[in-house]
């Protein structure tokens, strides 16, 4: 499992002093960088090989400004051309949000999904639950 600590910014708070619900997908995407590097090691957008097919976030508790948030990332499932990333946002030893993102190995020129290579599947399995 991967882990990254994020310090919430003031601009990510809402009028009630909580972290706005729109911040979580952005944090989760940022914490997926090590997964992205499996497919595009230099993160060159002109060589990108993935698309997002689905994103869902379940909110379980409040997150607050000025207090670190640990984002945990793992691979929940690997298919033929897609995989599911499970992510959680933890603050004060409590899981406050959980997200799942379906990523698809994609050929942008052909506009079609591609099978994951054996090497890609092996690299993803290092982060499996």
Q: What is the pLDDT of residues 35-83, one digit of tens each?
A: 999 999 999 999 999 999 999 999 999 999 999 999 999 999 999 999 9
pLDDT at 77: 97
Q: Does the reported pTM lie above 0.85?
A: yes
Dihedral angle sign, alpha carbons of residues 46, 47, 49, 54: negative
- Cβ(37)–Cβ(43) below 8 Å: yes
Tens digits of per-residue pLDDT, 22-36?
999 999 999 999 999
55's enclosing H/E stretch is strand 50-59
Long-range contacts (CB closer than 8 Å, 24 or more residues apart) made by 39-45: 39/105, 39/120
Q: Which of 82, 67, 54, 69 is nearest to 24 (CA)?
A: 69
CATH number at residue 96: 3.10.129.10
pLDDT score of 15 more than 90? no
Residue 65 belongs to domain spanning? 2-125
Tally of structural domains, the chain? 1
């Amino acid at each position: 499992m991967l882990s990254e600590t994020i310090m919430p910014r003031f601009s990510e708070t809402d009028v009630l002093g909580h972290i706005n619900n729109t911040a979580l997908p952005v944090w989760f995407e940022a914490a997926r960088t090590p997964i992205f590097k499996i497919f595009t090691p230099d993160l060159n957008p002109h060589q990108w090989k993935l698309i997002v097919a689905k994103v869902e976030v379940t909110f379980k508790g409040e997150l607050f400004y000025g207090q670190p948030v640990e984002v945990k990332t793992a691979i929940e499932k690997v298919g033929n051309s897609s995989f599911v990333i499970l992510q959680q946002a933890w603050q004060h030893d409590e899981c406050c949000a959980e997200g799942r993102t379906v990523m698809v190995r994609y050929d942008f020129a052909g506009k079609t999904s591609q099978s994951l290579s054996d090497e890609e599947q092996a690299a993803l399995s290092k982060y499996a639950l």
